[in-house]
A = this chain, B = another copy of it.
Amino acid sequence: MTARSQTYWTGDVAELLRVREGFVLSSIDPGSTPGYGSDKQQAAADLAAGVAELDLLQEKLFAQSRVGATDASVLLVLQGMDSSGKGGIVRHVVGSVDPQGVSLASFGAPTEEERAHDFLWRVQRKLPPAGRIGVFDRSHYEDVLIGRVRELADPDEIERRYEAINEFERQVAASGTRIIKIMLHISYAAQKARLMERLDRPEKHWKFTPSDVDERTRWPHYMAAYQTVFERTSTEHAPWYVVPANRKWYARLAIQHLLLEALENIDPQWPSAGYDVALERERLAAT
């Protein structure tokens, strides 16, 4: 399926980016633009066209949910190394949708209360209601990424989590939520440049913490942890997409496209009135 408003795609982006059996992360070029040329200007036009379409589809879905006519929602899970552009996706892709239709949750280091529960407890509570586009800025995958790399849990527990995640996502999908899992994939060199920019520009200092450099030294371990995540948790009901993200314009366009496809696939319709329109028109006219 192709989003109608984005016209410059040369290939099926969902197919090109989807993690399938045999996927190898290290074979993906973070600077590539699969299914699209390198024309940044066309991309800007496509992104702008997609905004209106996304907004309309979302409003229809929201309308249906308000009259109880659908339990469908979309959940966008955003993962990626520091500075890979998660915040930019929230701002420039999700930000174009009516805030009433968006349910955004960010997951940092767990609080004491959260640590006292199973790792899925805090994400379960933030699932999007029907009719909404939910966004997880980081997610339960941190528990098998930083959790594994920094040995925050023992190997048996990490092992248990992959299956727990699959079962959890299976239930979420069965309840009507389309799950789209994204890894924003930047290169080691691109991260260096982006972190350096945060150090060079005083208005970006707040986005940097010294631990960013510490985490960066563990880069190969994170890539290995992502590779395992893809092998263990890319499923039919909750597929992973690895989005090359060195070029921000490409990542934004590709993710907008995946959202558009998910919504087109739900195919929301304006709900019919649950009341007698002619009668209400008369009642209103009489006031």
Q: Which residues on A are within 8 Å of B, measured CB to CB?
A: 63-64, 66-67, 87, 90-91, 94-95, 98-100, 102, 104, 106, 135, 137, 192, 195-196, 199-200, 202-203, 205-210, 213, 216-217, 270-273, 275, 277, 280-281, 283-285, 287
Contact = CB atoms under 8 A, between A and B. Distances in A.
B271 A205 contact: yes
B208 A280 contact: yes
Contact of A100 (B87, B195, B206, B275): B87
B283 A206 contact: no
Contacts of A281: 196, 199-200
Contacts of A66: 206
Contacts of A67: 206
Contacts of A196: 281, 284-285
A280 B206 contact: no
A69 to B, nearest CB: 9
Contacts of A284: 192, 195-196, 199, 213, 216
Contacts of A94: 99
A221 B187 CA distance: 64
A280 B210 CA distance: 7
A270 B106 contact: no
A1 to B, nearest CB: 23
A3 B216 CA distance: 42
B275 A209 contact: yes
Given A208-B275, A213-B287, 6 more contacts: A90-B98, A99-B135, A100-B104, A100-B106, A196-B281, A196-B285
Contact of A99 (B99, B202, B270, B277): B99
